[in-house]
């Protein structure tokens, strides 16, 4: 009896950040991709939303990410060229803090290992060039000129659009309820019907736990991550030309943010620590009064030119792993690939990571990213 033809060579569960970039990367390689999205690409209920995500090359979180970040930078520009959309603004980025403390010491070590160009500004120099920030004695500001911000919704929509133009199929409002690996294919069950694909990639973000082997599901948690926007009387001082993206580890508080993209508000977040949520679909999107007070207090101390009363608050979700590194690699009998667990950091390298996963699916595993293997958490 002849085998039933597959619905696609590769199935993608989730068409958010990673899934949209992977659809594009596979379609570019001529690989037939069928992507599923429980909502529609660009929606604001997962890790995408709130207009911007930071992009940085000077990377305190580990020098091993820098080749991926360099590839991602090139691919963001290629996505812009193929889609015609404006996605990445390289307005520079400041990392502010005590150079002896963990974050900046890690960043300085990372740039020494990778050759990423930075400029170190003393407190006085930073006050002259970036008076918007208030530094404490002993703090410095490290300027990464290649840093900037990504327009997150635009990025996801653009990748999806180009992928579909190149032949990928994206099924909107289609939830995958089960993944069943057989000897020569994988079944993807949805409420309407079952699809059969050669391999599947789980890009389900905060919802991915249900598709993980038990030992991995125990090593991840979906978290609620808060964003907040503030106003000012001097919005000109907070435009990309004058106000790079920033991360400020200020002793008692850690904040990060982006310049204004709407000429009204400046995004500042981070002071309120993300926390685990039982169900990403039911996340509370409002800040509590205590959460508002925490971020307002940090803004008052560290960004005195902003009014410390938020104009807008929102909450999104991401999947966090126990060691902060993503889960990327094959599990099960080998037809299921994970590309999730980006732990609050995964937007900036989504294009590069999608290329790594596309190469893995077509036969070439990149040994530089072995540190992301799901087997490390076994």
Q: Determine, following the binding rule CB under 6 A, whether residue 33 of this chain makes contact with ligand FAD.
A: no
357 close to 339: Cβ distance less than 8 angstroms: yes
318 close to 206: Cβ distance less than 8 angstroms: yes
Question: Nearest distance from residue 37's CB to ligand FAD, in Å?
Answer: 5
Determine the residue with CB nearest ligand FAD. Answer: 16
Among 58, 60, 204, 216, binds ligand FAD (CB under 6 A): 204
Q: Determine, following the binding rule CB under 6 A, whether residue 257 of this chain makes contact with ligand FAD.
A: no
Q: Determine, following the binding rule CB under 6 A, whether residue 39 of this chain makes contact with ligand FAD.
A: yes
Structural element, H or E, at residue 256: strand 254-258
Question: Nearest distance from residue 35's CB to ligand FAD, in Å?
Answer: 9
Mark the segment that binds ligand FAD (CB under 6 A) among 30-38, 80-88, 234-242, 289-297: 30-38
CB of 50 or CB of 305, closer to ligand FAD? 50
The tokens for 299 are 């803004």
Question: Nearest distance from residue 3's CB to ligand FAD, in Å?
Answer: 26
The tokens for 324 are 């902060």
Residues belonging to the chain = 378
Q: What is the spatial distance between Cα 138 and Cα 27, in angstroms, rounded to a whole number?
A: 50
317 close to 220: Cβ distance less than 8 angstroms: no
Among 48, 68, 247, 271, binds ligand FAD (CB under 6 A): 48
Question: Nearest distance from residue 362's CB to ligand FAD, in Å?
Answer: 20
Q: Determine, following the binding rule CB under 6 A, whether residue 14 of this chain makes contact with ligand FAD.
A: yes
220 close to 319: Cβ distance less than 8 angstroms: yes
Q: What is the spatial distance between Cα 297 and Cα 313, in angstroms, rounded to a whole number?
A: 15
Q: Which of residues 310-349 bind ligand FAD (CB under 6 A)?
A: 316-318, 340, 342, 344-348
Residue 11 β-bridge partners: 34, 200
Structural element, H or E, at residue 159: helix 152-165
Q: Which of residues 165-194 bind ligand FAD (CB under 6 A)?
A: 175-176
Residue 205: name the closest of 37, 368, 373, 358 by CA: 37
Query: Where does this chain bind ligand FAD (CB under 6 A)?
Result: 13-19, 36-39, 46-48, 50, 53-54, 175-176, 203-205, 207, 225, 227, 316-318, 340, 342, 344-348
């Amino acid at each position: 009896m002849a085998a039933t033809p597959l619905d696609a060579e590769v199935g993608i569960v989730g068409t958010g950040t990673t899934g949209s970039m992977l659809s594009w990367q596979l379609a570019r390689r001529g690989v037939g991709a069928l992507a599923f999205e429980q909502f529609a690409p660009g929606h604001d209920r997962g890790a995408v939303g709130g207009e911007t995500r930071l992009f940085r090359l000077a990377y305190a979180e580990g020098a091993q990410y820098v080749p991926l970040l360099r590839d991602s930078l090139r691919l963001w520009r290629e996505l812009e060229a193929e889609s015609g959309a404006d996605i990445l603004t390289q307005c520079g980025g400041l990392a502010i803090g005590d150079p002896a403390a963990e974050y900046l010491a890690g960043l300085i070590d990372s740039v020494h290992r990778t050759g990423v160009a930075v400029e170190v500004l003393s407190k006085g120099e930073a006050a002259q060039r970036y008076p918007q920030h208030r530094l404490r004695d002993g703090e410095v500001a490290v300027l990464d000129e290649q840093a900037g911000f990504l327009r997150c919704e635009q990025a996801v929509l653009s990748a999806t659009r180009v992928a579909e133009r190149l032949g990928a199929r994206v099924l909107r409002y289609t939830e995958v309820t089960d993944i069943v690996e057989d000897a020569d294919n994988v079944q993807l069950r949805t409420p309407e019907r079952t699809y059969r694909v050669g391999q599947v990639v789980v890009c389900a973000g905060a919802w991915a736990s249900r598709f993980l082997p038990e030992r991995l599901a125990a090593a991840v948690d979906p978290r609620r991550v808060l964003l907040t926007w503030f106003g000012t009387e001097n919005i000109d001082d907070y435009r990309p030309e004058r106000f790079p993206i920033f991360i400020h580890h200020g002793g008692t508080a850690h904040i990060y943010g982006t310049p204004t993209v709407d000429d009204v508000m400046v995004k500042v977040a981070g002071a309120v620590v993300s926390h685990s949520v039982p169900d990403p679909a039911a996340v509370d999107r409002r800040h509590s009064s205590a959460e508002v007070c925490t971020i307002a207090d940090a803004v008052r101390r560290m960004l005195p030119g902003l009014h410390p009363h938020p104009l807008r608050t929102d909450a999104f979700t991401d999947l966090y792993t126990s060691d902060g590194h993503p889960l990327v690699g094959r599990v099960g009998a080998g037809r299921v690939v994970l590309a999730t667990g980006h732990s609050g950091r995964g937007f900036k390298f989504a294009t590069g990571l999608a290329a790594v996963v596309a190469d893995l699916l077509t036969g070439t595993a990149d040994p530089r990213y072995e540190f992301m293997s799901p087997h490390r958490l076994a």
